[in-house]
């Protein structure tokens, strides 16, 4: 008889079955609250050399944009648009798709400090910077 078939290892220890953390629980996925937490209409945009997953009503911080506070801006670099069951994937961009956002604030991020040090040489340098960011509120996704 094989010990593996009885759920034990060769040393008599019971094997624990682990659930996969990447698959959603079916009871949670079918519930109504799941769709509120994860909206089924979203887009992936590119700005400032980074990509962001956005949906209507989201507030996010991106690298500084040359737009005044309170004004609207439009992102035409849309890589993916999902609207319910309809998925539109660009190659590399989705033609005719755009995301509109309102500029909420222009601000500077917290200070990042880099301390350079070499032991026994008397060398130490402190350098730092503060990133300039723009806070956006996504108002409309059109495909």
- Rounded mean pLDDT, 113-141: 96
Indicate the pairing of strand 59-63 with strand 50-54.
unpaired
pLDDT at 28: 46
Distances (CA, A) of 29 to 20, 23, 38, 129, 141: 15, 10, 10, 43, 24
pLDDT digits (tens, 9 = 90+) for 70-112: 999 999 999 999 998 899 998 999 999 999 999 999 999 999 9
Close Cβ partners of 49 (under 8 Å, ≥ 6 residues apart): 63
Q: Return the higher-pLDDT residue of 33 and 55.
A: 55
Strands in 59-63's sheet, in edge-to-edge order, are 59-63, 132-142, 98-108, 72-75
CA dist 30 and 53 (Å) reads 23
Query: Is residue 31 within 8 Å of 17, Cβ to Cβ?
Result: no
pLDDT digits (tens, 9 = 90+) for 35-69: 555 557 899 999 999 999 999 999 999 999 999 99
Q: Name the E strands within 1-143.
A: 41-47, 50-54, 59-63, 72-75, 78-83, 86-89, 98-108, 112-118, 123-129, 132-142
């Amino acid at each position: 008889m094989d010990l593996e078939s009885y759920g034990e290892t060769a040393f008599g220890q019971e094997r624990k079955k682990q659930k996969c953390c990447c698959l959603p629980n079916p009871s949670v996925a079918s519930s109504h609250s799941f769709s509120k937490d994860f909206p089924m209409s979203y887009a992936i945009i590119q700005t400032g050399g980074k990509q962001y997953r956005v949906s209507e009503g989201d507030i996010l911080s991106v690298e500084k944009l040359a737009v005044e506070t309170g004004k609207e801006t439009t992102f035409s670099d849309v890589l993916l648009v999902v609207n319910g069951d309809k998925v539109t994937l660009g190659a590399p961009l989705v033609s005719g798709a755009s995301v509109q956002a309102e500029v909420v604030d222009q601000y500077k991020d917290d200070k990042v400090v880099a301390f350079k040090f070499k032991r026994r040489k008397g060398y130490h340098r402190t350098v730092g910077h503060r990133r300039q960011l723009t806070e956006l509120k996504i108002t409309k996704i059109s495909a």
